[in-house]
Every structure is written in structure tokens, then in C-alpha cells.
Amino acid sequence: MRIPVYWGCVIPNSQYAYEMSVREVLPKLEVDLVELENVSCCGLPMRSVNAYVSVYMAMRNLAIAEETGLKDLLVPCTGCHLSFSEALHFWKQDEGLRKKIGLLLAEEGLKYDGIIRIWHLIDLLHDMVEKETVLKSVKKKLDGLKLASHYGCHIIRPSTLGRIDDSENPRKLDELIELLGAESLHYPEKLDCCGALLLWSRRDGAFTFSGLKLKAVQDRGFDGLVVSCPACGMMFDARQKVSAATVGAKLNLPVLYYSQLLGIAMGIDEEKLGLHLNRSPVDELLEKIR
């Protein structure tokens, strides 16, 4: 399977471990990544400033992906995935917008025919890659681990756009965790937001969101928290100490990307998965696996 990948801005600029682990695990599942050239920001940061520009930026990237001649596009960042999904929604609904964007794309020799399908890492692994292929790649079962899944907001909402899983009862990430032998149990705070989008307006509110969720997961006795969004990864992993101070809690919870967890089960070297870059105490989780 060959699939172009759009990394966005946050992953290659700060969440290196996410990219490193995705690049390591997918080839072992017979998925070859095709790099895109001349892509730009997905347009999400422009949405509140100029919605039209935001849609155009997203559609331009999709047009570049279509140039590969392939029908699928992997978008590991949930913010970028939402931006593309929103742009496609408006593009399909508004003929005038379609024509206007088409003219702008034509200036670069680009066009979008609506052929390509967008995938996030979670639904790609759950819906496209065969379960048997994943199981064959696993060398180390994660039996005995109790892990909490965190879906984040953009991956499941708004449901009217056709997100990757059910907005009220998502299960795909849980099932992927359980496929590796670990337990993924329900907890009341499962769908709570990480608070990342409040960082620019209410930092105290942002860290209150992340701190309270981390505390809830830790208090319920989970061995770690599994994420699949770079913004959520930053809040729960890199900024865990700030979150702890904000809510007045002592937090010591391992947080890692699902791609890292899968790589551990595959027996891939920990440094190649970027685990040395995680700021949360992932060593405590690794000790339970080794």
C-alpha cells in the first residue's frame, strides 16, 4: 500500500516523536509513505481571520496530494484532518466557492477533482490495515497494562462532517490498544478536552483542562494515557508539570502516542520511536513491559 502523507506544521516542528514513530511502524505494516512537495499550512490557524483563505489553503494541499495519482491521503494531525474535512464540506456545498478556488488553483497548474480520501492514523490502522497484519507484526504483547485512551476533540467532532469514529462512544483507538494485549477501560472523563486551543486566550483555563484530566486518569490507576493528536500530546506530555501546578496536583503519568505504543509492541528500538523525547515518565511504563 502506497499512501501520501501530510504532516502539517506542529508534528515536524515540535512533535518529532509522533513523526518518528509513524515512519517506523507503517512500513512494518506494508504501508509505504509518499512525501508531498510544496505543501503549506492546512489553513486552520486562518479560520477565525479569513474563512475563505483557510478553505483555499486546505484545498491547495489536497490538490497537491491528488497529483500523486493515489486515492488516499494520511493526515496524522487531527487539527489538519479537521481543516481538510471542513474545506471539503464547503467545497462540495458551494458551487461559487468551488469555481473561485478552482481558478486560484489553476494559476499554479493545480486542480482538485474530489478523488482523494482522507485518513487519520487511527482509522487507517483500524479500517484499512488488516487486523492479522498488525498481529503478525507484534513481537511483545502488552498483557497486564491498563491504559486510558484519549481521542481529543477534532478527531470525533463535529459528527456532521463525518469524523473517524462515533462522537459519543468512540471505540477504534480502544480496540487498537486492546489488539496489542493491553486493557483499554472506559472512564468518565474519556471525552474531555485537553484544553490546547485555549492557550492563546486563557492559559490558566487550558492547563486546568489538561491537569484535571491527567489527575482523573492517574487517580483511576491507569498505567498511562494514549493519544493520537499532536496538540493533545503537547498538553498532556510536554506540559504535564505546568498542568500539575495549575490544578495543585502531583502528576506522574506516562503519556505516549499510539504509534509509539505499537512500535514498542513491534519490538522497535525505543529511541527510533522517539520515546527519549517524551517529557512524561514513559520509563515507568517501559519498565512494566520489558
Can you list the domains of the chain with their CATH numbers? 2-119 (1.20.1050.140), 138-289 (3.40.50.11810)
Give CA–CA dist 226/186, Å, rounded: 13
Give CA–CA dist 155/80, Å, rounded: 10
Q: Residue 64: name the closest of 136, 5, 18 by CA.
A: 5
Q: Based on C-alpha coordinates, what's the Rg of the chain? A: 19
Give CA–CA dist 124/76, Å, rounded: 10
- Regarding beta strands 183-184 and 146-149, do their DSSP bridges make them parallel or antiparallel, or are they unpaired? parallel
3-state secondary structure of 144: coil
Give CA–CA dist 248/208, Å, rounded: 10
pLDDT surpassing 90 at residue 229: yes
Which tens digits make up the pLDDT trace of 252-288? 999 999 999 999 999 999 999 999 999 999 999 999 9
Q: Residue 152: name the closest of 87, 114, 197, 200 by CA.
A: 197
Amino acid 200: pLDDT: 87
Which tens digits make up the pLDDT trace of 157-176? 999 998 999 999 999 999 99
Q: Other CB atoms closer than 10 Å to residue 143's CB: what's the count?
A: 10
- If you average pLDDT over residues 56-79, what whole number do you get? 98
Taking all residues of the chain, what is their mean pLDDT, rounded to a whole number? 97
Class of residue 286 by CB neighbours under 10 A (exposed 0-12, middle 13-18, buried 19+): middle
pLDDT surpassing 90 at residue 19: yes
Amino acid 162: pLDDT: 87
Q: Residue 22: name the closest of 223, 228, 204 by CA.
A: 228
Which tens digits make up the pLDDT trace of 79-115? 999 999 999 999 999 999 999 999 999 999 999 999 9
- If you average pLDDT over residues 133-141, what whole number do you get? 97
Q: Other CB atoms closer than 10 Å to residue 153's CB: what's the count?
A: 22
